[in-house]
Amino acid sequence: MSPVCVTLDAPDDFEGWREASRALLMAGVAPADVSWLVEGDQVPLFGGGSPPAPPPDAPPPRVPRDFPDLARLASRHHDPERFALLHSLLHRLQSERGLLDDAADPEVARAQAMARAVRRDAHKMHAFLRFREVRVEDGAFSAPHAALPQSRFVAWYEPEHHILRAEAGFFVRRFASLHWSILTPRISAHWYGEELRFGPGARRSDAPAEDAAEVLWRAYFASIFNPARLKPDAMRAEMPKKYWRNLPETQDIPRLMAEAPKRVAEMVARGATLSAGRRQRPLHLPAHLRGGMGVETDMPADLPTDPGDYAEAQAALRRDLLARNDLPPWVANATQPVMGEGPQHPLLMFIGEQPGDEEDIQGRPFVGPAGRLWNKALEEAGVPRDEAYVTNAVKHFKFTPTGKRRLHQSPDAGDITFYRPFLQREITLVQPRLIVTLGATALRAVSGRAMPVTKLRGSLLRDPEGRPFYPTVHPSYLLRLPNAEAKAREYDRFVEDLGQAAATARKLAA
């Protein structure tokens, strides 16, 4: 067959690639006969014809459910051969159904490495992007509608891969009330309070070098810097120097490192307690500085290992939630927040939907009917209770009052989004071997998007930070089944899920 040339609209045009690759496969075009280009690329010397139309009766390609997510991530990699690699994998998957399970296959390994690199790049962007405030004057950053506020927040960032379009939603959710722009060399994103737009790339000089709030931010960073837990190699691994010139706090790191031995000696001489839980309470920082990090800014730089520190860190998480003045309105009806329970570094971390009536009254998770059923299933699955941590995606009981009864009301997407940073902090603190999501709300809270529990149940997946998790149903689902036979059948399957999750966690830790 004659060579074919496919030109995609953008470097991260996954949908365009998917549509074209499906058509090529159905038309019987071999991957070796296809050249993949992005709009603006130079056409190969020998060119290539347009893709042929597939026959009307050609069957569509079939792929395992893990492949679309893998391909979507890998398509954002900077490797110019990414689309050709994914097309080759798609072609092979039609005859090699278990291909993605073969981690030794060179193409599978390469695609998975690309996906991991893109996930890491996105995580770094969430953590190390800093907005700086600028005054809006003379039509600068003009909006397509409505007058702009007096200030706008602008960030310069240089991602390794083509991630801005995919990750802009993270900043929309976190900074919905601000008007901001993210400038990168290849593309820019602009949020006007109601509409997100993308434009051409920019130069570093187009972004402000500093703003007034940076003095406050640097003071805050210095106040939480713990010299007793200084680990330079780990710090540089987590925050590579290439990001430093965008981060105001890095100006003080050499000085803080140099002073660390002296400060530790002084603390020991005073008999100071070096517990992470007794650090200074955080200053009140502007929203564009507080929210730009991948984790909340008052988390310790090093996770606690002492049981007392761990308990204090959990208590601090609860205090921080209670201190919020932007809780959803319905929270006023709840009795109290219900936080998680269990050891640090457990075999399994179970995440449910939200507290129920009994949990709200007692202030403990999974003590109601669904929790008692979960405890029974956990015991039958052979999972020791002291190797499990249990919590909920939403920390307050959402209900509709009807007389003396309080009828459970499912959390909506906004509720899940609000509590998600607290859940992420909790996961980081607990550090489980494997997360088990119980039901659709927990699955969405961990994965970051709506996903079908019934289709993904029993699969080993990865969250946006690369952590493994295992979806299954919520035990309340079993309680709602209409007849005894269905309940018994689904209960046995639930026990099997818990046992499989435990076995998977032990393999991951081996």
H-helix or E-strand containing 69?
helix 67-74
The string of DSSP letters for 339-389 reads: --BS-SS-SEEEEES---HHHHHHT-SS-SHHHHHHHHHHHHTT--GGGEE
User: Distance from CA of residue 237 to its chain's centroid?
Assistant: 20
On whether both 285 and 317 belong to a single domain, the answer is no
349, 436 Cβ separation under 8 angstroms: yes
Query: What are 18's strand-pairing partners?
Result: none
Residues 20, 118 within the same domain: yes
176 token code pair = 């919905």
299 in any annotated domain: no
Residues 199 and 101 in one domain: no
Q: State the pLDDT at residue 307.
A: 58
Which of 185, 206, 227 finishes a domain?
206
- Our count of domains for the chain comes to 4
Within a domain: 301: no
Residues in the chain: 510
What is the spatial order of strands in the sheet that 434-438 belongs to?
A: 388-392, 348-352, 434-438, 468-472, 461-462
Residues 55 and 149 occupy one common structural domain: no
Furthest-apart CA pair in the chain: how many Å? Answer: 82
- 277-290: b (≥16 Cβ within 10 Å) or e: bebeeeeebbebbb
User: Cβ(185)–Cβ(163) under 8 Å?
Assistant: no
Domain final residue pick, 290, 315, 345: 290
Q: What is the DSSP letter of 51?
A: P
At residue 163, the pLDDT reads 95
Nearest-angstrom CA–CA distance, 223 and 446: 31
The closest alpha carbon to 47, from 91, 7, 11, 88, belongs to 7
What is the model's pLDDT at position 72? 94
Is 164 inside a domain boundary?
yes
CA-CA distance, 253 to 463, in Å (whole number)?
Answer: 31
Whether residue 398 sits in one domain with residue 472: yes
Domain match, 151 and 120 both:
no
pLDDT of residue 280: 40
For residue 233, count other CB atoms closer than 10 A to its CB. Answer: 7
Please identify every stretch of the chain with a pLDDT value under 50, giving residue numbers as ranges.
Answer: 138-140, 145-146, 272-285, 288-302
Q: Which of the listed residues 72, 99, 124 is the one where a domain comes to its end?
A: 124
In a domain, 297, yes or no: no
Distance, CA of 89 to CA of 83 (rounded, Å): 10
State the pLDDT at residue 205.
Answer: 87
349 & 491 share domain: yes
Same domain, 107 and 187: no
Contact of 442 with 355, CB cutoff 8 Å: no
Whether residue 295 lies inside any domain: the answer is: no
And the tokens for 190? 């602009």
CA-based R_g, the chain, Å: 25
Report yes or no on 235 lying in a domain: yes
Strand partners, 279: none
204, 156 in Cβ contact below 8 A?
yes
- The pLDDT assigned to 282 comes to 42
Which residues 6+ apart lie within 8 Å of 436 measured at CB?
348, 349, 350, 351, 469, 470, 471, 472, 498, 501
Residues 33 and 158 in one domain: no
Question: What does pTM read for this prediction?
Answer: 0.51
251 and 344 belong to one structural domain: no
How much is the pLDDT for 498?
95
State the residue range of the domain holding 180. 129-206
Q: Domain for residue 229, yes or no?
A: yes
- 60 is a domain residue: yes
- pLDDT given at position 111: 93
- Residues 271 and 154 grouped into a single domain: no
- Same domain? For 369 and 504 the reply is yes
